[in-house]
Amino acid sequence: MRYRLDDAQHRNSNTIVETALNYNTNAPDQACVAALTAAITETSIYIYANNQVQASMNYRHDKVASEQDYVGLFQYPASRFRDIGADMDPAKATQIFLYQMVRIRGWQNMDPGVLAQQVQRRGTAARYQQWVSAARNLCQFGEGDNGGNSGGYNGGNNGGYNGGYNGGNNYNY
């Protein structure tokens, strides 16, 4: 499945990938796919402030919602995750997701859609599973060869996080 990103989604997905791959788990690829699956499902990889959570409006955000008290990339309920600054920060929000994820027994071998649903505790696994392929593509693009000519995680000439993708504002994965 191809997934088209605008600048905000691209920036946010880069942060999720980098955070997940460097979280110090024994299955970083699984962590990356599960985290991106959750973010795609919950917010289409946008950071949402919430006009019912006034503190969220003080942080960088891409969109504004009003559904209950959910904020950030992963739509954490402010009533349960009370550090609004962390909820609204893409790296910290991803760390919160990963912290919850590694507490699930057998997470390393679970279907990423099922895993994302269990971490988020919302909806059905099928709601998340439809985005696993797109999340996997985003994570694989992020790993790359750390430079070189094929792009990947740290650059190169054909894309990647830090090189070559600045030619437009839509990114295809």
**pLDDT below 70 — which residues of the chain?**
1-3, 142-173
Taking CB atoms within 8 Å and a gap of at least 24, the contacts of 148-156 are 153/17, 153/18, 153/21
- pLDDT the model gives residue 142: 63
CA 58 – CA 36 distance, rounded (Å): 25
pTM of the model: 0.82
- pLDDT the model gives residue 20: 97
- pLDDT the model gives residue 56: 98
Q: Which of 50, 49, 21 is nearest to 135 (CA)?
A: 21
Q: Where are the domains of the chain?
A: 4-43+89-172
Q: For 79-129, how does the pLDDT look when each residue is reduced to its tens digit (9 = 90+)?
A: 998 899 999 999 999 999 999 999 999 999 999 999 999 999 998 999 999
CA 45 – CA 38 distance, rounded (Å): 9
